[in-house]
Chains A and B, each alone.
Chain A
């Protein structure tokens, strides 16, 4: 059973389109992080959200943490080919120590 369900797993869109990636769980997370990973490299942190209902913006990327801290979303506006990569959500389940629980990842391809 996947503790953090991420969807969609694959997304292929044209430059300029908008997209949203979702992460859902039945568990409460004390924090949730979004990473981007390039082939052959480790994940690179994009943002950390901690408070239920929190919204953070990073240029064309908008991150939201659900009110109940069980879900999160990443929205990209006007996607560009440089946004292509693997996007991962990960979080700390409340009261379960320091390990991160990852979603399956979303492989995004933005075509020019």
Chain B
């Protein structure tokens, strides 16, 4: 396993700009999750996919946020019209769902977003 990879690792943008992050899960993992983590806090769930289907979205995910997983492999998270409050670490995780929700999630290194 090469592990979960995320790109870019760091992104600095100006308020109002759009940004897109990519996550490549561990191969053959059918579930992919996005979380957001602000400084000094634990990660907060944003959304997750099983294959191509987006199964759940958090109320934290405003209309400016959209996530896709078009072929059931990699996923993208786009933030439109970024705000300073969007500054955070965006974490991606994946696992192989085998019928129970106890399956371990494996995290990528994260994308650190700074909105100026």
Interface residues of A (CB under 8 A from B): 4, 6, 30-31, 33, 35, 40-45, 48, 50, 88, 90, 92, 97-105, 107
Contacts and interface: CB of A to CB of B under 8 A. Distances in A.
Contacts, number: 77
Contacts of B41: 104-105
B101 A30 contact: yes
Contacts of A33: 104-105
A4 B45 CA distance: 13
Interface string B1-40: 0001000000000000000000000000001010100001
B91 A92 contact: no
Contacts of A101: 45
Contact of A31 (B4, B44, B102, B106): B102
Interface stretch (B70-78, B79-87, B108-116): B108-116
Interface in B41-97: 41-45, 48, 50, 55-56, 58, 91, 93, 95, 97
